[in-house]
Structure 1
């Protein structure tokens, strides 16, 4: 079985590198610094027949929010006829764990996990295991 691929989207390069270093033993990690770059990566890999198994999306970014980027990714999957069981797993990341962002992440974006950045180091791996994104 081929190794999983994760897309980490965050405008804070240091945080993206931290996430990548924590996740690299579970999957090949790609990083995008904004929503538009993430969409290009996402579309290219999907069209090549090697889609990302999970996307780690920062909610607050300039120009395009994480919610907007996710909605476009979900629309691309639908357009391409991706089967529901093959859709990417979504982990929303944010410095703000307010009820609105949590609700939008799970209900609108169909998130599998939500990890506040201040709890990232301790909560990431347990959350990913609970959501069955990693073993």
Structure 2
């Protein structure tokens, strides 16, 4: 499996990458532009990401905007609806507004608070049948 981890905090990105390593290859982007570039590159190479782990609050382009653009790229390039990537939103914030926006606006499959990554990430991925 191919995973994309997007977080402006490199410590969090590396923690996620380490937790995901037993399940697949991880690419890391620390900003929205780089994330979009990697996302498009993987599609163009015929190896789209099966899951994207997206921080919500980032400088410049926030996670919601990055996801919106990724979904546009995906819609333009995919041949099959089943190719749609799983989206796991990651944030230090657990406020209702951002969580709702993630699920309904970005079609998120799961939400994990950064403080709970060590304990909640793997159970959430199992719950959405990603691993």
* Coarse TM-score class (shorter-chain normalised): over 0.9
Matched, 1:57 2:54: yes
Q: State the aligned residue count.
A: 131
Q: Distance in 2 between matches of 1:80 and 1:30?
A: 20
The TM-score normalised by the length of structure 2 is 0.98
Residue in structure 1 matched with residue 45 of structure 2 by the alignment: 48
Residue in structure 2 matched with residue 13 of structure 1 by the alignment: 10
| Aligned residues: CA RMSD | 0.7
Q: Distance in 2 between matches of 1:102 and 1:62?
A: 19
| Alpha-carbon distance, 1:89 to partner | 0.4
Residue in structure 2 matched with residue 105 of structure 1 by the alignment: 102
Q: Distance in 1 between matches of 2:79 and 2:110?
A: 21
Residue in structure 1 matched with residue 112 of structure 2 by the alignment: 115
Q: Which deviates further from its counterpart, 74-83 or 16-25?
A: 74-83
The TM-score normalised by the length of structure 1 is 0.95
Residue in structure 2 matched with residue 132 of structure 1 by the alignment: 129
| Alpha-carbon distance, 1:19 to partner | 0.5
| Alpha-carbon distance, 1:37 to partner | 0.2
Runs of 4+ in 1 over 2 A off after TM superposition: none
What 5-or-longer segments of structure 2 have no aligned partner? none
SS in 2 for 1:111: coil
Q: Distance in 2 between matches of 1:27 and 1:83?
A: 22
